[in-house]
């Protein structure tokens, strides 16, 4: 199957918290895209899983979805 | 509220000192520490001081400060660095100055031991001429405040500038019509360099960023040091290039020449290795 060409000027920002299981299929589906996972308040292996899929990972130790979106957007190229 | 944003990398010891001092600020504030992949206790020290902690995916001061602002809740932002020591009234004074101007910068006072060595004596002589910087429309981020809406309007720091990022930020803010005001009551202390090697490294980085700024802002900012090697040859010229009158101190003269020579090397490097911006 030919992979779709994804617009490199678009980055996908995903806020994630304790989502080590749910995030894998999402990232697999986004393969080839510029993905920033903004982990917030996580105590599981969400950052490691996201890195395995080649995503840029930025971690906010405190849980805050809106702040996570902001830092994700600031990280995106 | 004012949010204090601090980029940090392997700076646990310095950060502990800074956070202790910030706990004595005269105004309520939020602390945000951005850790760029430290292998020491930086994140733990920040957490214990009650700071919001962000782990940056890159070691880049511009990105780190942008991430810190993104995680902050204040309508005003105060930037300083892990090796700085702000006065107790710093955040309050900066907050007041930001009521009348979108950007505000205060003095950065250099501190050294009782018997300063040549590197320290050199730094005491010239660093930081923040008031002169502000008069020229720029400021160092070691002591810089900005309103959050203004920061967002210019998309924050440009991460292509690893050094000179503060000059670039101030110039873009000016282009957007934002004012920068001198805020003498908001004082930050900064240790002098203690070794000539540190003077050389800083000079190199400064020379490189000055070249890039000269390219990005022709006639307005930056300087191509390699085009004026005279500062290296004539006695006192390296100090005069920093707007300091030469002094009768051979150690300072040597440190100034090392600084100037490193600036030339850095500017050449930036011209040849065109990690160019714009």
Per-residue pLDDT reduced to its tens digit, B5-14: 999 999 999 9
Burial class (CB in 10 A: 0-12, 13-18, 19+), B24: exposed
Is there a contact between B71 and A67 (Cβ–Cβ < 8 Å)? Answer: yes
Residue B210 confidence (pLDDT) above 70: yes
Mean pLDDT (whole number) for B7-24: 95
Each residue's pLDDT expressed in tens, for chain A with a length of 77 residues: 455 556 667 899 999 999 999 999 999 999 889 999 999 998 899 999 999 999 999 999 999 999 999 999 999 97
Is there a contact between B163 and B205 (Cβ–Cβ < 8 Å)? Answer: yes
Alpha-carbon distance values, A43 to A19, A21, A39, B57 (Å): 10, 13, 10, 18
Is there a contact between B278 and B215 (Cβ–Cβ < 8 Å)? Answer: yes
Residue among A72, A77, A74 at smallest CA distance from A14:
A72
The alpha-carbon gap from B252 to the nearest alpha carbon of chain A, in Å, equals 42
Q: Do A56 and B57 touch (CB under 8 A)?
A: yes
A74 to chain B: which residues are within 8 Å by CB?
Answer: 63, 66-67, 69-70, 156
Q: Do B156 and A67 touch (CB under 8 A)?
A: no
Give me the half-sphere count of Cα atoms (radius 13 Å) on the Cβ side of residue B49: 28
Q: Chain A interface, mutation test: which of B5, B44, B70, most A Cβ atoms within 10 Å? A: B70
A58 to chain B: which residues are within 8 Å by CB?
Answer: 54-57, 67
By C-alpha distance, the chain B residue nearest A64 is: B71
A70 to chain B: which residues are within 8 Å by CB?
Answer: 70-71
pTM for this model (two decimals): 0.92
Radius of gyration of chain B (CA): 18
Mean pLDDT (whole number) for B151-174: 94
**How many CB atoms within 10 Å of residue A8?**
10
Q: Which residue has the higher pLDDT, B116 or B277?
A: B116
């Amino acid at each position: 199957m030919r992979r779709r060409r994804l617009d490199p000027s678009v980055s996908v920002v995903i806020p994630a918290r304790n989502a080590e299981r749910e995030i894998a299929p999402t990232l697999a589906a986004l393969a080839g895209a510029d993905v920033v996972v903004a982990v917030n308040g996580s105590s599981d292996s969400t950052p490691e899983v996201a890195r395995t899929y080649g995503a840029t990972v930025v971690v906010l130790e405190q849980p805050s979805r809106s702040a996570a979106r902001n830092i994700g957007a600031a990280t995106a190229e | 509220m004012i949010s204090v944003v601090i980029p940090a990398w392997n700076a646990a010891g310095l950060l502990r000192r800074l956070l202790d001092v910030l706990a004595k600020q005269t105004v309520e504030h939020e602390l945000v520490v951005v850790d760029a992949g430290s292998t020491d206790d930086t994140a733990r020290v920040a957490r214990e001081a009650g700071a919001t902690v962000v782990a940056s995916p890159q070691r880049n001061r511009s990105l780190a400060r942008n991430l810190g602002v993104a995680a902050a809740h204040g309508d005003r932002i105060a930037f300083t660095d892990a090796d700085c020591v702000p006065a107790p009234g710093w955040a309050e004074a900066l907050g007041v100055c930001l009521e009348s101007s979108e950007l505000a910068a205060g003095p950065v006072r250099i501190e050294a031991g009782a018997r300063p060595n040549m590197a320290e004596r050199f730094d005491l002589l010239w660093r930081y001429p923040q008031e002169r910087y502000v008069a020229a429309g720029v400021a160092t981020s070691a002591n810089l405040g900005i309103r959050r809406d203004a920061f967002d309007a210019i998309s924050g720091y440009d991460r292509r500038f690893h050094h000179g990022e503060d000059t670039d930020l101030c110039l873009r803010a000016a282009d957007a019509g934002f004012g920068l005001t001198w805020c003498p009551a908001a004082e930050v202390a900064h240790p002098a360099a203690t070794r000539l090697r540190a003077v050389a490294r800083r000079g190199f980085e400064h020379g490189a960023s000055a070249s890039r700024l000269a390219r990005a802002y022709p006639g307005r900012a930056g300087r191509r040091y390699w085009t004026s090697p005279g500062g290296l040859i004539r006695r006192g010229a390296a100090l005069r290039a920093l707007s300091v009158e030469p002094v009768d101190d051979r150690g300072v003269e040597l440190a100034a020449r090392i600084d100037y020579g490193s600036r030339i090397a850095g500017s050449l490097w930036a011209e040849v290795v065109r990690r160019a911006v714009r």
